[in-house]
């Protein structure tokens, strides 16, 4: 290294404590500094987030209130949806803090390892965004989470198999019945022979009524999948 280069060389490890002092990372939930940490949520706030315990089809609006045909065999949600979890998902979805998926996965994956419906899956597939929405947002938050889970579980990820063929408005401000109608016939499968007779783990960030997952599961089964089991970061009580 020449003298000019040596003069400009900065040992990042040496100055990191100083950077942490002047620019501490702030917990997304409690807004308190997280000392010398690469995390986005402090351990105290993580410990206050409850695991989801009611991941049963009968608890979904789709089954309980609508009485609709359900095409996925079951689902597992990692956390019970509350204000803290909403902030975490919002930071991923709208603030584009994609690195937080590693932190989510570390907390969420261990219980998955005890679920044979998950661990026996042949492929893991994210719920897709329409190409227009993907261009607007820049990335698919469900796909980012799917890739991280895929690494932990060693289940191959197929991102381009399931397509959203119709642009739909966001489900956030719709009631349950409007959500079901909004996503009706919105999805399709490309190269269905690749998933023929396969067990699919279908991933979304949030399962609320179950309508989006159900529409995806319907077309995956029609394309030849043996079964579909759903996974989400959270669902409401």
Secondary structure string (H, E, C) spanning the chain = CCHHHHHHCCCHHHHHHHHHHHCCEECCCCCCEECCCCCCCCHHHHHCCCECCCCCHHHCHHHHCCCCCCCCCEEEEEEECCHHHHHHHHHHHCCCCCCHHHHHHHHHHHHHCCCHHHHCCCEEEECCCCHHHHHHHCCCHHHHHHHHHHHHHCCCECCCCEEECCCCCCCCCCCHHHHHHHCCCCEEECCHHHHCCCEEEEEEEECCCCHHHHHHHHHHHHCCCCEEEEEEEEECC
The rounded radius of gyration (Å) of the Cα atoms in the chain is: 20
Whether residue 204 has pLDDT greater than 70: yes
Whether residue 149 has pLDDT greater than 90: yes
Comparison of pLDDT for 56 and 144, the residue scoring more = 144
Candidates 77, 18, 24, 103; CA nearest to 208 is 77
Note whether 182 and 172 are within 8 A (CB).
no
- 35-50, pLDDT tens digit by residue? 767 789 999 999 999 9
Q: What is the pLDDT of residue 10?
A: 57
Q: What is the pLDDT of residue 80?
A: 94
The whole-angstrom separation of Cα 135 and Cα 174 is: 23
Instruction: Find which of 12-21, 99-108, 193-202 is predicted with most confidence, using mean pLDDT.
Output: 193-202
Q: What is the pLDDT of residue 13?
A: 59
Comparison of pLDDT for 53 and 88, the residue scoring more = 88
Whether residue 7 has pLDDT greater than 50: no
Whether residue 4 has pLDDT greater than 60: no
The whole-angstrom separation of Cα 49 and Cα 191 is: 39
Orientation angle between helical segments 141-153 and 100-112, nearest 10 degrees: 50
Mean pLDDT to the nearest integer, 196-202: 98
Whether residue 23 has pLDDT greater than 80: no
Q: What is the CATH number of domain 49-235?
A: 3.40.50.2020
Q: What percent of the chain has pLDDT over 70?
A: 89
Q: What is the pLDDT of residue 93?
A: 87
Per domain, the residue ranges of the chain are 1-48, 49-235
Comparison of pLDDT for 77 and 5, the residue scoring more = 77
Note whether 80 and 88 are within 8 A (CB).
no
């Amino acid at each position: 290294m020449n003298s000019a280069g040596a003069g400009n060389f900065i040992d990042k490890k040496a100055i990191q404590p100083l950077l942490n002092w002047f620019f501490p990372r702030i917990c997304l939930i409690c807004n308190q500094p997280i000392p010398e940490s690469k995390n986005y949520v402090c351990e105290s706030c993580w410990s206050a987030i409850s695991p989801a315990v009611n991941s049963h089809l009968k608890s979904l609006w789709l089954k309980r209130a609508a009485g609709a045909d359900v095409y996925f065999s079951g689902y597992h949600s990692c956390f019970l949806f509350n204000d803290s979890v909403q902030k975490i998902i919002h930071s991923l979805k709208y603030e584009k803090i994609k690195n937080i998926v590693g932190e989510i996965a570390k907390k969420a994956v261990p219980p998955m390892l005890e679920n044979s419906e998950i661990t026996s899956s042949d492929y893991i597939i994210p719920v897709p965004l329409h190409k227009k929405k993907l261009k607007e947002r820049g990335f698919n938050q469900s796909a980012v989470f799917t890739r991280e889970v895929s690494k932990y579980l060693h289940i191959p990820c197929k991102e381009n198999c399931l397509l959203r063929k119709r642009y739909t408005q966001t489900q956030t401000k719709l009631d349950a019945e409007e959500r079901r109608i909004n996503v009706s016939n919105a999805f399709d499968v490309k190269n269905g022979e690749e998933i023929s007779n396969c067990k699919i783990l279908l991933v979304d960030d949030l399962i609320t009524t179950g309508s989006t997952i159900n529409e995806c599961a319907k077309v995956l089964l029609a394309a030849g999948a043996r079964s579909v089991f759903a996974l989400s970061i959270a669902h409401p009580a």
